[in-house]
Amino acid sequence: MEKRSSARRVRKSVLNDTGESPPETVRLVSVIGAGKYIITGLSGKEYIFTGNQSQEVNNEDANYFLSKRQGCCGTPPQPIFVKV
């Protein structure tokens, strides 16, 4: 039986053909409830938040989502999304 190679594998990061680095992302989670929410960010990209699962969001969209608040029946508005 052949032995496995002891050499380590190295992953190289891949850049776009334009030389730009990929956009930075932030992990957000929706604290509204256990439903499924499809929300469009400022960049036009749709994000699907299901229950309390976190989602990778572009920085531009993350700042927009973090500014969203919801309140009901005289309670002060609470954030809809939080960073994880």
* 14-36: pLDDT as tens digits: 555 566 666 688 999 988 877 88
What's CA 21's distance to the chain center, in Å? 17
39 - beta bridge partners?
Answer: 47
Tell me, yes or no, if the pTM score tops 0.95: no
30-36 contacts, C-beta under 8 A, 24 or more apart: 30/80, 30/81, 31/78, 31/79, 31/80, 31/81, 31/82, 32/70, 32/80
Tell me, what's the pLDDT at 13?
Answer: 52
81 - beta bridge partners?
Answer: 30
Task: List pLDDT tens digits, range 33-73.
Answer: 778 889 899 999 999 998 888 899 999 899 999 998 988 88
